[in-house]
Amino acid sequence: MSHDLEGKIALVTGASAGIGLAVAQRLVDEGAFVYLTGRSADALDAAVAGLGRNARAVTGDVADLGDLDRLVDVIRAEHGRLDIVVANAGTVDVVDGVDVTPEHFDLLFDTNARGTYFTVQKTVPLMSDGGAIVLLSSGMNVKGFPGYGVYAATKAAIRSFGRTWAAELIGRGIRVNVLSPGVIDTPILAKQFTTDDELRAGTDGFTSMIPVGRLGRPEEIANGVYYLVSDQSSYTTGFDLVVDGGVVEL
């Protein structure tokens, strides 16, 4: 590792598992101090213990603005600034349009769209000029895929937020980019199926649609996030980096 994030203070939301945890690991490996958030204190403590150093857990729900305020207060008191924000927390629920309930709609929009939006709004005052923000969207943000109507719309909202935040923060030298994963092997996969057989069939179905012929690994998403938060991408802002084994473009 290059250690070129040495001394940087970073926040990764939803970092107890999956992509968020892999991103936190990569940022720590590159020298950053990383705040990890999530709703389960036990899961977060285990994640921080696994990272071993330069990591701190703060429990909270991204859909709860009070929790976001508390998180910002902790970071301000302990470090006084943030250099990197990775708004990763998100959830999925697969429901055909005819069966969508207001509860399904609100859960996905509250967590994914509202949670991501206010994570940025609340942390921006703490961000150092020249900092970097990455918002986790999804390749679904440009797809029409049965059962994912509300989820895809939350992710399209996130892609749009990235453009506007990038324009609003450009004067401070803060770059804002979006990263859109394809199908990545994390616990979110199992959430989309009720039985192991369904999960196996669903995974095979996804794999058959992926040009490179396999699911992605969380570390491959962490590579993309590292690129977007490091000086390697110093001339890139408002962009959507799609990391999906070719699904969207091929």
Q: Which residues are catalytic?
A: 151
| Site membership for ligand NAD, residue 245 (CB under 6 A) | no
| Site membership for ligand NAD, residue 119 (CB under 6 A) | no
| Site membership for ligand NAD, residue 14 (CB under 6 A) | yes
Helix axes 41-51, 18-29, angle to 10 degrees: 30
- Residue in 75, 124, 183, 225 binding ligand NAD, rule: CB under 6 A: 183
- Applying CB under 6 A, the span of 26-34, 36-44, 94-102, 119-127 interacting with ligand NAD comes to 36-44
Residue among 57 and 183 whose Cβ is closer to ligand NAD:
183
Residue among 57 and 169 whose Cβ is closer to ligand NAD:
57
Amino acid at 80: G
Quote the CA–CA distance of 47 and 27 in Å, as a whole number. Answer: 14
Handedness of CA 45, 50, 55, 60 (dihedral sign): negative
Nearest distance in Å: CB 187, ligand NAD: 4
- Residue in 111, 141, 177, 230 binding ligand NAD, rule: CB under 6 A: 111
Task: Give the tokens for residue 152.
Answer: 């895809």
Residue among 40 and 164 whose Cβ is closer to ligand NAD:
40
End-to-end Cα separation, the chain, in angstroms: 32
Nearest distance in Å: CB 219, ligand NAD: 12
Half-sphere CA count of 158, side-chain side, radius 13 A: 39
Residue count, binding to ligand NAD (CB under 6 A): 28
- Applying CB under 6 A, the span of 24-32, 83-91, 94-102, 117-125 interacting with ligand NAD comes to 83-91
| Site membership for ligand NAD, residue 62 (CB under 6 A) | yes
Quote the CA–CA distance of 115 and 15 in Å, as a whole number. Answer: 14
| Site membership for ligand NAD, residue 91 (CB under 6 A) | yes
Quote the CA–CA distance of 231 and 248 in Å, as a whole number. Answer: 27
| Site membership for ligand NAD, residue 89 (CB under 6 A) | yes
Quote the CA–CA distance of 218 and 16 in Å, as a whole number. Answer: 13
- Residue in 86, 184, 229, 242 binding ligand NAD, rule: CB under 6 A: 184
| Site membership for ligand NAD, residue 23 (CB under 6 A) | no
Q: What residues make contact with ligand NAD under the rule CB under 6 A?
A: 13-14, 16-20, 37-39, 61-63, 88-92, 111, 115, 136, 138, 181, 183-184, 186-188
